[in-house]
Structure formats: C-alpha cells, structure tokens
Amino acid sequence: MHLSNQRDYFGHQIIPKMKKHIKHINAFAIGLILSGSMTACVDLTETNINPNGVESTAVHPNLLLTTILSNTATSEVNLGFGDIAGVMQHTQKDAWFTGHNNYEWSNQSWTANYSILEDIKMMEQRAEALELPFYVGVAKVMDAYHFARIADLWGDAPYADAVSGDQGGEQFLLPAFDSQQEIYEGVIAELKEANDLLAALGTFEATPQDILFGGNVLKWRQFANSLRLRLYLRISEKMPEMASQGMQEILNDASRYPIITVASDDAAIAFPGGTSANSWPSNTEFDGSNGSNYRRIKMCATLVEVLQSLNDNRISVWAEKVQVPIVLDESLPAGTDEIINGKRYIDADIAAEKTVDTDPEYVGIPPAVSNIPSEYNLNPTPGQQSYNPHVSFINERYTAPSGPLLKARLLSAAEVHFILAEATLSGLVNAGSAKDHYEAGVKASFEAWDLENDFEEYITGEAAFNNSLEQVMTQKWIAAWTASTESWFDYRRTGYPELVAGPAAVRSVLPIRFYYMQDELTINEKNANEAVSRLETTQFSQADDKNSAWSKFWLLQGTGKPW
C-alpha cells in the first residue's frame, strides 16, 4: 500500500498505517506490555515513520490492540478527571481554571476519537483477512464505544462514511454528519453483533496485548452487553420502546447476554507509570511544572459536602484533609489572625469580610466561586502556585504516576447496577428489586476503592435506600469519581444531581454538549452546518447561536431536561 503525503479529512497524513502506529504503540502501550524493559532501546517516539515498520497490509491485529486500548484510557481520563470533573463538581481548579470551573470552552476536537477509530478499522480489516474472530469482535466493541462517545459529546457526527479518507472522493474526505439517533442505533446493533460473534469462541483466548481483559472472551461480552444497557438507558426518553425491549432482552437471557455485575470485572485499565505518556495525568514525577498540575486541582465543595452528609469514607481515598484548619473564635480581640499549634485562629470581624469554611477536616472550593478561586477561604498566598493550606487537595495518591487505584474506568459494575436500579424504578424493565441493585451499586463502588469493610455500616445509615431516583443518581454521580463524563450524561438526561452553576460561570446553568470545532465548520462547511441547523437553541445559547454548549441536540430535544 503506497500512498502520497496528502492529508485526509480529519487532518491525518495518509501514510502506511503500521508505520504510523509504531509511534503510538511506544507511548502508553509498550509500557503496559513490557513494564519498563525497553529503557535501553532507541526512543521511537522521536520519529513518525519507522523505516523498518510493517506495511498496513501485513500488520497483525495484536500490534494495534494495545494502542487502541491505551489511547482510549488516556482519552477517558482526560475527560472524566479533567474539565468534565469541573462541570460535575467533583473537583475545581484554583489556577488555569477557566475551562474547568467556568465552562470557557471552544473548539473541542474529536480528532483523537477518530484517530483511534482509524486504528480500530485497520485492526478489524486485518482480523477479517487473517480469520481472527476474537479481534473482529473486540474491534466492534471498541468501534461502538468511540462512535457512541462522539455522539454523546457532540451530537450528529460523521459515522457511516467516517474514517474512510483513504478511499478518496468527496463522500469520504468530506463525510456527511449522520444523526445522533442513527449513530446510537448503529452502535447498539454493532454491540449485539460483537457479543454473538465472541460467544462462539469460548471463554478465553490468550492475548497479552489485551491490556483490558487479557483475552478473556467472557469479559469482553460482559463489556459489550453492559455498554448496550448504558446506551439503551441513554435513549430511553426518546425511544422508550426500543430501550425497554433491548434491556429486557439482555436481562431475560444471562447466559447469552452476560453483563458486568462485580467490581472485579470492571472495564478498567491501570496506568503503568513508566513515562509521562503512560502515567496518571496529575502525577508529580513527570510533571514539568514542578507538581503544579496536581496542586491546582482541589476538591469541589459540592462533592465534599454530600460525602460528609452521608458519612461516606470514600472521601478519605479521594481527598486530603486541610493542612491548616481555620478556627473562628468570637471571643478573640478584633483583628486576631494567627496560627497556633497548626490551626489558624481568626476573630469574627475577619470572618465577616469573606466566606470562611471552618470545617476541621475537609474543605472544598465552591463551583466557579469567583474569578480568583485561589483566594478562597483566606488563602494567604493567592495566585497561580495553588498552595492554599485551608482547602482540600485531592489525595496524594494522585501525585503518583501509577498505583492500584489509578485506573481509567470505562464501565463499572457500580454503573450497571445503578442503571438497573433506575430502569426498575422508572418501570422501563423488570430487573428485580431497585433496592437490591442500588445497594449492589454502592457496594461495587466501595469494593473498587478498597473500602468493602465500610459498606454495611454505610448502607444502613444515611445512605439507606429511600426508593427515589434522586438518591440513585446521586450515588451514581459519587461513584463516577475520576470518570465523571458518564455522570454528565446522566445529569443531562435526568437533571440529577441538582447542580447549580457558580457565579463566575459563563452561563447560569451547566453546559450540555461540546461545540463543533471551527475546522469542521470551515473544511466540511456544508455537512457541518447542516448538523448545526438541527440543534435547538435555548435561552442559554445566547451569542453562540446554535453551535453552543447550551443548545440541545436530538437526545434532549422535547425532554425538558436538564433545565
């Protein structure tokens, strides 16, 4: 396969695929497979084309699988631990905060998603040519995962004619935007096809390149069917009959359609931590900014206060206690402000000047609290350095490049049980007891964070089931820590938890989608503008017009949600 140096619609240079993939594999992937054994080798990431690389017509699918999975992991953490964690008020930043806290977004690119989809397509094509059905099935699962993510985040998007730029012609270089509905319908069908294909293979196929499930066919089927449950719930307001029938089909035949039900089967990928490219993003070991990427991330007051109200010990895994608690003592002389035995004592007059949180253990920054969030809670050193001793940092485990809890969680048992709890409460399916699924979801989350011994006391306390959708969605939101993207989609669909935008946010409500990037609107003008025209403006779209993070795509139109 010999191609020129022209670029396809997505901006990628059209080169022999395997020569391109050599670069990708040597970032996250080789660290995952070889765990540091390549330290004496030449750094191939310095080159884009390996002169000794394998042509795309000869590449084995196992050379692509690790790259696909590792890049997926990176993409998910960058969202769910990044700005979406700010939207969903798990965290706030007190430096470089405008996107995270205030939703000052523009030009979110889907190039990374489509780049992964290119690799998936190549893997599937080679697997079919070599008659390797395991890789075909895995490719279909991951293809569905990424196209669903694109539809989730942007709405209408290239689907049927996407990642086919090597075929040439306007149809593929400037592909039409398929409707959000068509994409969901297509990926749900693909996931069912993947399950059926994998079901014929038994339960295990030794595949060390499979950094997600190690070649466990059953776990791939569980992942595929659990993704179907996720997507059926996603479309349940718009297509309730399809959603209800599809979910019930899965639940009625557990042997044909196995799902993830225990935390040990979670679709989660650990970070090897050997280089900056394959480490947890807030680590300080490879942080060129001397750790400030970690320091600028603080707990959000919204999450902190909910966890404290429930006596939820997950806060001890996710957050650090404040370094210097503030003590308000009204008996002190006016103007008193001094640190004694590790506590900062202030008088009532100082406390009256600004909002002060005197919680002795955990303090979060309120969402979009101001244009200078580093000043919050009487920080003595406001500014970009983020050394506020009176606010909770995220837990120190997030300074490490890797660790047993530092995982990209693509889909969890907790999520599956909360899906079934909600679907049962709403009457969408007959899935047994909503209470049982609610409790199983909470338990799976506690197990995932090594807190299983705390579960029994927790579930009989403030978190005891009260038969409400709000409670189910609140627990699902809590369980989505570091994977908050899915909780954003739940919020859009249900309005829970009832989050309020902060005073410095660019709109008075939370955003609900990503903007189409300007390159799309310019290069693929006709098709992109047709997609924009199908968006529905709201009172919050304002100067953005239709291509706004506050305009509604098909999934939300007519639902009255989330606002």
- Domains, the chain, with CATH or none: 17-255+264-271 (1.25.40.390), 285-399 (no CATH)
Question: For position 289, what pLDDT does the model report?
Answer: 79
Question: For position 81, what pLDDT does the model report?
Answer: 98
Residue 150's nearest CA partner among 196, 199, 112 is 112
Q: Report how far residue 226's alpha carbon sits from residue 500's, in angstroms, rounded to the nearest whole number.
A: 31
522's enclosing H/E stretch is helix 518-523
CB-CB contact of 249 with 257 (8 Å):
yes
pLDDT tens profile 280-309: 999 999 988 789 999 999 999 999 999 999
Tokens of 332: 């002190």
pLDDT tens profile 415-431: 999 999 999 999 999 99
- Which residues are 407's β-sheet partners? 270
Question: For position 51, what pLDDT does the model report?
Answer: 56
Question: For position 384, what pLDDT does the model report?
Answer: 79
CB-CB contact of 17 with 58 (8 Å):
no
Q: Report how far residue 28's alpha carbon sits from residue 275's, in angstroms, rounded to the nearest whole number.
A: 8
Between 111-129 and 17-24, two packed helices, what is the crossing angle to 10 degrees?
120
Q: What is the DSSP annotation of 119-156?
A: HHHHHHHHHHHTT-HHHHHHHHHHHHHHHHHHHHHTSS
Question: For position 56, what pLDDT does the model report?
Answer: 67
Question: For position 156, what pLDDT does the model report?
Answer: 98
Question: For position 325, what pLDDT does the model report?
Answer: 98
CA distance readout (Å), 94 to 296, 371, 393, 536: 5, 9, 11, 33
Residue 296's nearest CA partner among 136, 106, 98, 103 is 98
Q: Report how far residue 521's alpha carbon sits from residue 530's, in angstroms, rounded to the nearest whole number.
A: 10
Question: For position 54, what pLDDT does the model report?
Answer: 58
* 3-state per-residue secondary structure call for 504-519: CCCCCCCCCCCCCCHH
Q: How confident is the chain (563 residues) per 10-residue block, as mean pLDDT?
A: 34 37 39 42 50 67 95 97 98 96 92 97 96 97 98 98 88 95 98 97 85 96 98 98 98 98 98 94 90 94 98 98 96 92 94 92 98 95 88 98 98 98 97 97 98 98 98 98 98 98 97 96 96 98 94 98 97
